[in-house]
């Protein structure tokens, strides 16, 4: 039997995942003559042994398609896995040993784990438990992985937000309103700040900078005093007022994180309470995660997929494909998951925003 490698996509999906799958399958076959087996729904499929044989014909046309043909799950933590008991109760179990046994049965040259910080940290734990033939590809629209300048999915999300800002600006201007746009990004403000800069926002609120509501209102007043009676606010879902907390829509548990949501509406209510401005809120939500990947993400997905196969071929297990100063490199997974990459409140991006008059609320 010819040699084969495996691939799974874990955590929240994002545009570009199919591009990684395609590049892995094509490079593995074309360059090494290896087959590729896809594991369904992240680590869930490894536990449940749900596999699909992939070949060039199956992946040839998926480059421009969003989502992931393998499915994904952000509740599939093999070290704290929800198992339904015969009496209907759900118990949390560590199923990692069974996953490793399944992996051994698959007899792979290597496994490509495509994921964000959660999925990567499971990959790292597997390596520490002895399943060493793992390499990673960083994906998340949040762009918050320390290992790489860019994760796949981020640029597409930014494009979506920028288009929304431009659309909302014209209606905001017509009605002299304050438009708040709540965007994803959880604990990192990369989407909010990058899209705010590219989309000409007037106020950008990110999780890394607790905002002072007086400063936000002062920004509207300054514009109003100049005769401009509308403003566009980009509010990250993880934005917090000074001394306040995250806006949590659904409380998490051991199997899943808190679901954030409501930061924009909370801000709208305070502005309405304290001023005469008319305010509307738009929550972009999963629109940012769906649809066609932009050209940058298709290109990055292809390069990351190729690099992942290279890492396996050269025995550099325990590494993720990463972009560093526009060079493709391999970085240890352990380093990639050590801490989140956050916006530096005093870094160049924030400085550029302030320099062109964007209020960051600090």
Q: List contacts with ligand F6P (CB under 6 A).
A: 12, 74, 116, 140-142, 184-186, 237, 259-260, 289
Catalytic residue among 142, 144, 297, 310: 142
For the bound state, the minimum distance from the C-beta of residue 157 to ligand F6P, rounded and expressed in Å, comes to 8
DSSP codes joined into one string, 257-301: PPEE--HHHHHHHHHHHHSS-EEEEEE-GGGGTSSPPPHHHHHHH
CA neighbor of 62 nearest in space, from 7, 107, 12: 7
CA neighbor of 83 nearest in space, from 70, 94, 68: 94
Per DSSP, the three-state class of 238 is coil
Report CA-CA distances (Å) from 33 to 2, 3, 54, 125: 8, 8, 13, 30
For the bound state, the minimum distance from the C-beta of residue 39 to ligand F6P, rounded and expressed in Å, comes to 20
For the bound state, the minimum distance from the C-beta of residue 142 to ligand F6P, rounded and expressed in Å, comes to 5
Give CA–CA dist 68/74, Å, rounded: 13
Is 142 in the active site?
A: yes
Give the residue with the Cβ less far from ligand F6P, 237 or 310.
237
Give the residue with the Cβ less far from ligand F6P, 312 or 343.
343
- CB count, 10 Å around CB of 266? 17
Give the residue with the Cβ less far from ligand F6P, 99 or 161.
161
- As a dihedral over the C-alpha atoms of residue 277, residue 280, residue 283, residue 287, rounded to 10 degrees, the angle is -120
Residue nearest to ligand F6P (CB): 184
Query: How many CA atoms are closer than 13 Å to the CA of 143, on its beta-carbon side?
Result: 21
For the bound state, the minimum distance from the C-beta of residue 124 to ligand F6P, rounded and expressed in Å, comes to 18
Give the residue with the Cβ less far from ligand F6P, 224 or 257.
257
Q: Report, as residue numbers or ranges, the catalytic residues.
A: 142
């Amino acid at each position: 039997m010819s040699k084969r490698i495996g691939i799974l996509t874990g955590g929240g999906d994002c545009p570009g995942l199919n591009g990684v799958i395609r590049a892995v399958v094509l490079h593995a076959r074309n360059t090494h003559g290896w087959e590729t087996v896809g594991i369904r729904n992240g680590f869930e499929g490894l536990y449940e042994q749900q596999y699909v044989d992939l070949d060039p014909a199956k992946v040839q046309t998926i480059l421009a398609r969003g989502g992931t043909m393998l499915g994904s799950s952000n509740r599939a933590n093999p070290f704290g896995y929800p198992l339904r008991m015969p009496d209907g109760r759900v118990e949390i179990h560590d199923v990692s040993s069974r996953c490793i046994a399944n992996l051994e049965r698959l007899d792979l040259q290597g496994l490509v784990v495509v994921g964000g910080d959660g999925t990567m940290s499971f990959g790292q734990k597997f390596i520490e438990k002895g399943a060493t033939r793992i390499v990673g590809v960083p994906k998340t629209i949040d762009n918050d992985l320390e290992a790489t300048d860019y994760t796949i999915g981020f640029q597409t999300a930014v494009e979506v937000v920028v288009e929304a800002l431009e659309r909302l600006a014209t209606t905001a201007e017509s009605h002299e309103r304050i438009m708040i746009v709540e965007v994803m990004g959880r604990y990192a403000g990369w989407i909010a700040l990058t899209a705010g800069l590219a989309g000409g926002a007037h106020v950008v609120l990110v999780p890394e900078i607790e905002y002072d509501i007086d400063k936000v209102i002062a920004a509207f007043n300054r514009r109003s005093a100049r005769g401009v009676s509308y403003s566009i606010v980009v509010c990250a879902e993880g934005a917090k007022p000074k001394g306040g907390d995250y806006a949590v829509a659904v409380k998490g548990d051991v199997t899943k994180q808190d679901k954030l949501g409501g930061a924009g509406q909370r801000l709208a209510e305070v502005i309405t309470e304290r001023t005469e401005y008319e305010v509307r809120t738009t929550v972009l939500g999963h629109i940012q995660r769906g649809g066609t990947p932009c050209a940058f993400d298709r290109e990055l997905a292809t390069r990351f997929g190729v690099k992942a196969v290279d890492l396996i071929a050269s025995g550099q297990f325990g590494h993720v494909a990463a972009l560093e100063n526009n060079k493709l490199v391999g970085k240890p997974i352990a380093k990639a998951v050590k801490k989140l990459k956050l916006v530096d409140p005093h870094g160049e991006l924030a400085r550029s925003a302030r320099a062109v008059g964007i209020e960051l609320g600090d």
